[in-house]
Amino acid sequence: MDRLAAFVALLDRHAPSDGMHAVALPGVTLIRAASPTLPMPVIYEPTVCLVGQGVKQAHLGATSYRYDPQHYLIASVDLPVMGSVIQASPERPYLCLQLDLDMATLSELALAHPAAPAPAPAPASGLSLNRTSPELLDAAVRLLALLDAPSDIDALAPLTVRELLYRLLQGPGGGILRHIAQADSRLNQIARAIAWIKTNFHQPCRIEQVAEVAGMSRSSFHQHFKAITTLSPLEFRTRLRLQEARRLMVGDALDAASAGFRVGYESPSQFSRDYVRVFGAPPAKDAGRLRAG
């Protein structure tokens, strides 16, 4: 059995039903979908996604990222993305391994194994698509195979995760990881600002305040924030507010006015306008459609 076939078999066995499956491996989530899905807003946290079967597409601003068994996706910072599975069937479901990026281990590996002659330039976006190498896939297979030998997980999983992160650093997407692993890099500064906005998105805030969190001037902060997220800081905050409002309406059955107020909107009409612009339908109609589905 070749590497990819072994990877698919392991994913299929340990993610037996649709959805996200937490497993005993540190930082690993397995994902399965037996049919294409509607585009849904989600926050991509710092992770790498390795697809065994099927195709998924993520939209960040106006840019589309399509990842499949030949290409893995790196999310280097928290990003509000519209994601959808675009190729899957009951016979050939979408199967994916998602690994959280351990920044401490990445920083240690980046210092011990510096890039030659110098790290790659700062990435244009917080998302990066790269070709999956045989070495990377082999490490992923050996990591998943530990689920069939639970007594070995504590001893071997950290070593295999470390190898997988090393392969990522040495691969074509290594530049973006080296930047996020450096405490004083622009990418890391923007990551600090994003974390602050995620915690305080329901509160009024000034650009100067967030730029101060990042340790940057207002103009430099705005430039680098938009390069990495494709959104301005205020647009980023708006996306977070709308995603949370959508969750409140669908999951907690809040009405549109209450959900908008809960996430920081003072004007129901402004909330409705922003919602239609991002999701394509008025809040109540969109939430009703999702609840019915």
CATH topology of domain 3-181: Jelly Rolls (2.60.120)
Residue 103 in this model has a pLDDT that exceeds 60 = yes
Distance CA 100, CA 190 (A): 19
Q: 211 versus 173: which is more confidently predicted?
A: 211
Q: Where are the beta strands (DSSP E) in the chain?
A: 19-22, 28-33, 40-44, 47-53, 55-60, 63-67, 71-75, 79-87, 94-100, 127-131
Kindly list the strands in the beta sheet with 19-22, ordered across the sheet, starting from the edge strand earlier in the chain: 19-22, 28-33, 94-100, 47-53, 71-75, 127-131
User: What is the pTM assigned to this prediction?
Assistant: 0.84
Whether 143 and 159 have beta carbons less than 8 Å apart is answered as no
Distances from the Cα of 51 to the Cα of 160, 166, 182, angstroms? 18, 19, 28
Spacing of C-alpha 50 from chain mean position: 12
DSSP state of 151: G
Mean pLDDT over 274-283 rounds to 93
Mean pLDDT over 121-128 rounds to 69
Residue span(s) of the chain under CATH 2.60.120 come to: 3-181
Span 50-97, pLDDT tens digits: 999 999 999 987 889 999 999 999 998 899 999 999 999 999 999 999
Whether 161 and 26 have beta carbons less than 8 Å apart is answered as yes
pLDDT at 118: 56
Distance CA 196, CA 114 (A): 30
* Domain covering 188-293 assigned CATH 3.40.50.10320 in the classification: no
Span 160-181, pLDDT tens digits: 999 999 999 998 888 888 887 7
Whether 7 and 144 have beta carbons less than 8 Å apart is answered as yes
Query: How sure is the predictor about 125, in pLDDT bands with cuts at 50, 70 and 90?
Result: confident
Mean pLDDT over 117-124 rounds to 53
Residue span(s) of the chain under CATH 1.10.10.60 come to: 188-293
Cα dihedral: 95, 77, 46, 283 (round 10): -50
Distance CA 270, CA 27 (A): 39
Phi-psi region of 59 (alpha: psi -120 to 50; beta: other; left: phi over 0): beta
DSSP state of 123: P
Residue 123 in this model has a pLDDT that exceeds 60 = no
Span 213-255, pLDDT tens digits: 999 999 899 998 998 888 999 999 999 999 999 999 998 989 9
